[in-house]
Amino acid sequence: MSHTALSRRTLLRGTGTLMALPLLEAMLPRTVRAQTAAVPRRLAVFYVPCGIHMAKWTPSASGRGWALTPTLQPLAPVKDDVLVLTGLSHWPGRPELNGHHAAGTAAFLTCARARKTAGTDIYVGISMDQVIANHLQGATRFPSLELGNDAGTGVRACDSSYSCAYSYNIAWAGPSTPRPKETRPRAVFNRLFAGFDPGESQAELEKRRAYERSVLDFVREDARALQGRLGATDRRKVDEYLTSVRELERRVDALEPDGPMCQPGEAPVNTDDVRAKTRAMMDLIVLAFQCDLTRVVTFMLGNARSDRVYDFLGLSDTHHTYSHHQRVQSNYDALAKIDRWEVEQYAYLLHRLKAVRETDGSTLLDSAFVYFGSEVEDGNSHGHSNMPVVVAGRGGGALTPGRHVRYSGEPLANLFISLMQGMGVNRSSFGEDGTGPLRGLKE
Amino acid sequence: MKGPRHRLRRPGVWVGVASVLLLAGCYGNSTQKVTTTVPRTEPEAPPDPVGEAEVPRDACRQPRDPGRVSLHRLNRAEYDNTVRDLLGDTKRPARDFPADDISSAGFDNDADVLSMSPLLLEKSSAAATQVLEDAWRKGTLRSCRLDVEDPMPCARELLSRFARRAWRRPVMDSELERLLSLVTLSRQQGDGSEPGMKLALRAVLLSPHFLYRVELDPAPASPAPHRLTDLELAARLAYFLWSSTPDEPLQTLAEAGELHEPMVLEEQVRRMLADPKAQALVENFAGQWLYLRAVDAAAPDPALFPAFDESLRRAMRQETELFFREFLTSDRPLRNMLDADFTYVNDRLAAHYGLPLPGSDTPRRVSLEGHPERMGLFAHGSLLTVTSLPTRTSPVKRGVWVLEQLLCSAPPAPPPNVEGLPPPVDPSASLRQRMEQHRSDPVCAGCHHLMDPIGFGLENFDAIGRWRRTEEGSGAPVDASGTLPGGTAFEGVTGLRPLLKEDARLGECITHQLLTYALGRGLTEADTCAVADITRQAEARGGRWQDLIIAITGSEPFTHRRGEPEEDTP
């Protein structure tokens, strides 16, 4: 009944701001309304490389009486919205011999052991965000968004003999198909809002769909004909292409006449300053959620085994160098500064999510799961028995935040099962060691 | 592909597939071989003992396997250059594409790891729309006018011409008809022919025939070698030397079936190397082989190295680029890169090096007569900076770079949990003293006796490539002496340089690097004989880069391919 719906553009034109805009139920596109009557739940993942210096991370008291530690201090304004989970293990992240960062990152959301290879035969597992994205297929324009600050290094050197794919990606559509991330904020913005034409009629939209489909039909036919003339490896390459064509097709089918349900505001500028870039990426996550363009976002603050130099924190060596702290106090101090800065960025995201109201008056953060983690525990020992984990948000009631919960080695995969269930996926096992939902997330 | 594919990591003989690996298993004259064995699913063969292992001659007389390159997706640089050459578009749209994976061989043009993803296809679609819209507006594509009543003759001409260049081969009638049906579609929708033309042009740029370099085997499951078609050869040449699509002369020769003739091929190589587009070899081959791409991300500590700024960074990169570019077309043997008596500096970099100022902000070619320490690649600020840590030099990184990139004898990764320096027991100790730990610990000694001495030889260059006699931190005098595994002692860069220049592994290693890049695939054991042959041929012709390039372009792996036997299991 689009002709009776209020035009959001009418309401929002000229406001030019993203902050705290109320969404009216009548303004939601039909697809969204058909999907769920309630406010949708959303998942964001915030990955930081090289582990965490746990001594300054771990709260001493558990339950509601926990106190912020030096590293977690930036969470003060949202302390009641976060769950600090300690004692969770992540054994699938252990590499064969070397390559903790690659193996840990490959397992980060897959809870699977990565095959040690640098060739075409990369193999790990589907990541939990992609399980959710598959489940929500069609609900939003983008099944998921993959974002990050760093593209490649430009030269050889990822981690040990593991493919760079394991170090650059945390989202895996399947065991051998990473979903690469975008690293330029402006390009992300343009992609989010491409193809929305405010003045477009239903007939014009139909025509545009027909045109887009005609191009995709053409190239699909090319690919199929080609595939019949190729050997096994190349046929798999064309499979990747055909899968991509199918996803583009779904995007075309999902084109909405209404356009986005919010004003995008100004496009961010591209920058190499990691502070500005991270902020821009956090803003884009909020924007994508607010406009309901996707409900699943993963973000990598850096690639695995990051060699970033945090000069603006007064540090001169690389993150990875410091993370091999060798129990030297000055390295601990440097790591604590980096860790705290990372938590500040996460806190900024939470703060932004909390500032946006849903149709029912709750905040975006209330309905979200926002997961923070790293590929290893401590960067020197490369441990996997006590991972640094925070989950923020209430997950629409699935979580009772404001607590520190201690575990004794339960697998991280079980937390992911809980998150997947919270997102509506009916699943009771996951990855290599996930056996059921994690206790203690709700009181 | 089932198991891991075994890559040849260095010239010389492949030691075979061992099921166990000596932990930290570097050979050489270490007396402290560690005997722990660790079961492995993937062998990491240790490097050869120095000067070992000729390929048995007989093995090279057998019928050769030319190998096969997987369906090769254009990487970002190739995409950008290709649309530049097709449409005159220089906006580099692929900068917004997701980063290309870098293979274990060290290059981002490895067909095996260049994958396709929904994001990439979406970005390619957006890029195609944009570049075509711009080209249409500028009139680049409109060599005829689309008649309102009868647009098809012109549409046919435009599309067949464009698709022929974009797909690097003549277009079949059936393909052309399918493209033209998109023009019909927009006419049926009442939009006239122009939107349909744009759809068809977009379809050309989104087709697998554009996004991939397609090479076909007559029998896709047969391992029997066969020659590439001339069109496939033209594409290989163009993407090797230009990282771009064949130009009209090359494609015309290929369509005439003449390109594979050795004289024609060689003439084309020379023409292409002289073309400004050969700068792609500098950016993409040297950029990765010499780690030049890492210069942009180098981050020396501003407190310790305030002299390092953007203009110095740029001058360093330009120095090595111009230096390599000159070698590419000059008559100097490529080996002379290691001790060349010239370089390119502007005033800023000359002052940094302690050389006479050339009186210019742009780099000038200068003679290094009287400055033996600055001769050759090892004295380049770019290389010295990217193989340092932000706060100090790293003899290990420098040693590994030489072993890996110049001698193809990379040591295996360190055993778990020994990365980084041990705690500095005494802050006044010299770096050299701290690194003695490597030798005192048998787990480390096996490999570090290969890496460290080379790095020690370069210790007179600080972390941003300045000449120094004392270490910044400890104030200790620099000790740049070393002893190579064979027992040869040397003193400083001038002593080390000739040893590396004469190293038997150098020639085949550079062949190995360039052939890997030329083919866009990792080399395997089966390429060993080809590497040896190419190296011999190039040496016999004068040992210049152009000799090596010509030897490669005429070689079996470059001109032939084979199918891939089907595996039994699904």
pLDDT at B143: 87
Q: Is B178 on the interface with A (CB under 8 A)?
A: yes
B217 versus A270: the higher-pLDDT residue is B217
Residue A24 φ/ψ, nearest 5 degrees:
-95, 145
First-last CA distance in chain A = 41
- Quick check: A146 and B121 CB within 8 A? no
| CB within 8 Å: A156 and B288 | yes
**pLDDT (tens digit per residue) in A329-350:** 999 999 999 999 999 999 999 9
The pLDDT of residue B204 is: 98
**Nearest CA to A377 among A89, A34, A84, A61?**
A89
**Residue A427 predicted with pLDDT over 70:** yes
Nearest CA in chain A to B206: A219
* Interface contact B415-A98, CB threshold 8 A: yes
**What is the rounded end-to-end Cα distance, in angstroms, of chain B?**
10
Residues in B touching A179 (Cβ below 8 Å):
117-119
Contact yes or no for A194 and B41 at CB 8 A: no
- Answer whether A218 sits within 8 Å of B203, measured CB to CB: yes
> CA of B362 to nearest chain A CA: how many angstroms apart?
25
* pLDDT, tens digit (0-9, with 9 covering 90-100), for B321-373: 999 999 998 999 999 999 999 999 999 999 999 999 999 999 999 999 999 99
Helix, strand, coil share of chain A (percent; to 5)? 40, 10, 50
**Rounded percentage of chain B residues whose pLDDT exceeds 90:** 74
Find which of A211-225, B133-147, B287-301 is predicted with most confidence, using mean pLDDT.
A211-225
Q: State the pLDDT confidence band at B51, using cuts at 50, 70 and 90.
A: very low
Q: What percent of chain A has pLDDT over 90?
A: 70
3-state secondary structure A130-199: HHHHHHCCCCCCCCCEEEECCCCCCCCCCECCECHHHHHCCCEEECCEECCCECCHHHHHHHHHCCCCCC
In this prediction, residue B20 carries a pLDDT of 29
Query: What average pLDDT does this structure show over A234-261?
Result: 85
Instruction: Round to whole Å and give the CA distance between A397 and B557.
Output: 62
ipTM value for the complex: 0.88
Share the mean pLDDT of chain B: 87
State residue B58's pLDDT score.
61
**Which pLDDT does position B105 carry in this prediction?**
81
* Nearest-Cα residue of chain A relative to residue B413: A160
Q: With contacts defined as CB-CB under 8 Å, which chain B residues touch A182? A: 96, 98, 119
Give dist(CA A443, CA B2) in Å, integer.
Answer: 48
Average pLDDT of the segment spanning A262-281: 89
Mean pLDDT of A314-318: 92
Indicate if the pLDDT at residue B19 is higher than 50: no
pLDDT at B520 over 80: yes
Residue A177 forms contact with B (CB below 8 Å)? yes
Q: Work out the average pLDDT over A58-85.
A: 97
Per-chain mean pLDDT for chain A? 88
Q: How confident is the model at residue B13 (pLDDT cuts 50, 70, 90)?
A: very low
Tell me: the pLDDT tens digits for B470-504?
988 788 899 999 999 888 999 999 999 999 999 99
Q: When comparing pLDDT for A147 and B57, which is higher? A: A147
More confident residue, A425 or B33: A425
Q: Do B98 and A151 touch (CB under 8 A)?
A: yes
Best residue of B119, B205, B229, B389 to probe chain A, by most A CBs closer than 10 Å:
B119
Question: Nearest chain B Cα to A305, which residue?
Answer: B419
Q: Between residues B211 and B2, which one has the greater pLDDT?
A: B211
Helix ranges, B189-309 (H): 194-206, 208-211, 230-241, 248-255, 262-274, 279-280, 287-289
Q: How far is B367 from chain A (nearest CA, A)?
A: 30
**Which pLDDT score is estimated for A201?**
83
Q: Are B549 and B141 in contact (CB under 8 A)?
A: no
A210 CB neighbours in chain B (<8 A) are 185, 189
Tens digits of per-residue pLDDT, B535-545? 999 999 999 99
Q: How confident is the model at residue A30 (pLDDT cuts 50, 70, 90)?
A: very low
Q: Tens digit of pLDDT for each residue in B288-303?
A: 999 999 999 899 999 9
Higher per-residue confidence, A159 vs B88: B88
Stretch B95-114: mean pLDDT: 88
Q: How far apart are CA A336 and CA A73, in angstroms?
A: 11
Range list of H helices, B306-441: 310-329, 347-353, 381-386, 395-401, 431-434, 436-440
pLDDT on residue A159: 78
Amino acid B465: pLDDT:
97
pLDDT bracket for residue B437 (50, 70, 90): confident
Chain B contact for A219 (CB, 8 A cutoff): yes
- With a cut of 50, say whether residue B205 has pLDDT above it: yes
Position B460 confidence tier, pLDDT thresholds 50, 70, 90: very high
Partner-chain residue, chosen from A156, A248, A309, that has the shortest CB–CB distance to B122: A248
Is a pLDDT exceeding 90 seen at residue B43?
no
Could you tell me which of A298, A296, A255, A14 has the C-alpha nearest to residue A141?
Answer: A255
Can you tell me the distance from the alpha carbon of B531 to that of B11, in angstroms, rounded to the nearest whole number? 8
Residue B439's pLDDT band (boundaries 50, 70, 90)? confident
Residue B564, chain A, CB below 8 Å: the answer is yes
Q: Residue A27 pLDDT more than 90? A: no
Inform me whether the pLDDT recorded for B381 exceeds 70.
yes
Find the radius of gyration of the CA atoms of chain A: 22
Provide the pLDDT for residue A205: 87
Q: Residue B481 belongs to what H/E stretch?
A: strand B481-483
Question: For position B427, what pLDDT does the model report?
Answer: 59
Q: Are B220 and A229 in contact (CB under 8 A)?
A: yes
Listing DSSP states for B3-60 in one string gives SPPPPP-SSS------SEEETT---SS-S-----EEE-SS--PPPPPTT--PPPGGGG
Pairing of strands B37-39, B226-227: unpaired
pLDDT band at B421 (very low <50, low <70, confident <90, very high): very low
pLDDT confidence tier of residue B14, bands split at 50, 70 and 90:
very low
Are B71 and A230 inside 8 Å of each other by CB?
A: yes
Nearest CB among A168, A234, A238 relative to B99 is that of A168
CA dihedral B501, B505, B511, B515 (to 10 degrees): -140
Q: Is the pLDDT of residue A5 over 60?
A: no
Mean pLDDT, rounded, for A191-218: 87
CB A375 within 8 A of CB A319: no
For the cut 80, the answer to whether the pLDDT of residue A323 exceeds it is: yes
Best mutation target among A158, A168, A219 (most B Cβ atoms within 10 Å) is A219
Tell if the CB–CB gap between B120 and A180 is shorter than 8 Å.
yes
